[in-house]
A and B are shown apart, each in its own frame.
Chain A
């Protein structure tokens, strides 16, 4: 009986076996430093200290302080996602469809690439230097227009201040994602609509928005997840004084000798759940959107 290489199952032929050496390190790495750590959190959230299954940890999420932290986080993420989508859409629409010079479009996309990666600690410093007590805009408003921002109750270390700061990376992300979708709107669709007597408003309501809505809603979900996971900006800005979910988790991890580690598991689990759902919505809607943008 001859067992030449071709009669073996495909995955066991010598050449294929050799190929596994290229792929295995990647999977091993992903298992050790991505999947197992995440799995440990998920399992830890539904186990007690002895490893028995329990829902007690997740129940702790509904204590008033944790619940309010999550609620503020959700509000912050939702608000900045919605505003980011709206402003990002208008800016992207202005440079793609608004008849502006072409160089503006290239400049805007380049800047959006930079700004969406400028999140984190430096961004917080930039906003403190601008809207802090001695910031540029605060001083200009006071000296030129006699408007006292801080006297009027504004504070950069607040929900509103954090929201203003988050928009700095939310809007560019929206611009980056929605510009290709807006460019996918074909000129013929508009011409067809107009030749049938549609007004600009009717074109948007009946043609453009139905094509765009999966992209719009998907990006909204993505921006939500993006804001929800942001920690460094919030810590650098507020010094962990504002109680949002990631900051509570941060404090929990830092002080886990004193605190209950299983509460940390539960908070982390809830965060994964929220961002996973938001990202899942994004991926699903994105697949729908790609039917049109070809």
Chain B
């Protein structure tokens, strides 16, 4: 073994130790609920908890709606900017970068100030309003990821020719977007969608400050009140993140494959 190899193995081994120990610790702890040995008791308790089912179901629905809203906002915008307003591109790119620059806690603070009960648009005053505000907030958080993946997808297809071909066959704007462009960039849209899903499922700050009982605040509440269940929840959350990233990579690879074949 050469000297260079030794140092590389050392760096990777120490890194692996640091990254694996918390995962092992979290999993081991989640199994310790019953005193007489390891069991999946904590998982059973958590999964059977009606509040878990309610908050988790809520977050899943919200994540799916966020993805739909994100697609409706980003795909037409990215398409028309590429096709007709190339001058707007830097502006759109700047806007989609902003949610990474401005801390989410500041954005939600702005929402509470602008849309509170004494404002012109009192969204925080009603149940529906709050949910819509949260949905729009999550769509904002997902803008950077959605835009980037849609834009990458659009770059790999010839949208000008596709659009002209569709127009010469008599298709209108909405039809072109829905039946020609979207299917062509669907794989890249999905990779943005999975990242959005992973982000929305565990999000805490927006939900907590808008007083919405989603999965994030439920996890924090569990963390303050129970011993073993939080670890079980963390394992579940990690599994979801892992699944989303895995699917994302799969679809990214798939979209590369489909463009390579053209």
Chain B residue numbers with a CB within 8 Å of A38 are 98, 102, 106-107, 110
User: Given that A114-B241, A235-B204 are known contacts, is A99 also in contact with B219, CB under 8 Å in the complex?
Assistant: no
List the one stretch of B49-57, B111-119, B154-162 in contact with chain A: B111-119
Which residue of chain B has its CB nearest to the CB of A226? Answer: B100
A212 at interface (Cβ–Cβ under 8 A)?
Answer: no
Q: Are B202 and A264 in contact (CB under 8 A)?
A: no
Contact of B173 among A21, A118, A127 (CB under 8 A): A21
Instruction: Give bound CA distance, A29 to B230, whole Å.
Output: 36
Tell me, rounded to whole Å, the shortest Cβ–Cβ distance linking B213 to chain A.
14
Known pairs A26-B76, A93-B11; A121 contacts B204 (CB<8 A): yes
State which residues 88-111 of A face B: CB under 8 Å: 90-91, 93-95, 98-100, 104, 108, 110-111
Q: A38-B102, A272-B102 are in contact. Are A90 and B11 (CB under 8 A)?
A: yes
Which of under 10, 10 to 19, 20 to 34, or 35 or more describes the interface residues of A? 35 or more
Closest to B248 in A: A113
Please state if B220 and A121 are interface contacts (CB–CB under 8 Å): yes
Cα separation A256 to B109 with both chains bound (whole Å): 11
Q: How large is the interface on B (under 10, 10 to 19, 20 to 34, 35 or more residues)?
A: 35 or more
A270: nearest chain-B partner, CB-CB:
B106
The segment out of A146-154, A180-188, A245-253 that lies at the interface is: A245-253
Are B220 and A236 within 8 A (Cβ)?
A: yes
Cβ of A218 within 8 Å of any chain B Cβ, yes or no, is: no
Q: How far, in whole Å, are A272 and B92 apart by their CA atoms in the complex?
A: 20
A125 touches B233 (CB 8 A): yes
Per the 8 Å Cβ criterion, residues 104-137 of A in contact with B are: 104, 108, 110-111, 113-115, 117-118, 120-131, 134-137
**Closest chain B residue, CB of each to CB of A92:** B11
Chain A: minimal CB distance from B190 (Å): 15
Does B26 touch A at the CB level, under 8 Å? Answer: yes
B59-106 CB contacts (< 8 Å) to partner A: 72-74, 76-77, 79-81, 83-85, 88, 92, 95, 97-106
Whether B202 contacts A120 by the Cβ 8 Å rule is yes
A26-B92, A34-B107, A231-B105 given; A129·B30 CB < 8 A = yes
A-B contact pairs, 18 of them (CB 8 A): A33-B111, A37-B113, A98-B9, A114-B241, A118-B241, A120-B202, A123-B22, A125-B230, A126-B23, A126-B238, A130-B22, A232-B202, A232-B205, A235-B204, A236-B223, A253-B108, A253-B209, A275-B103
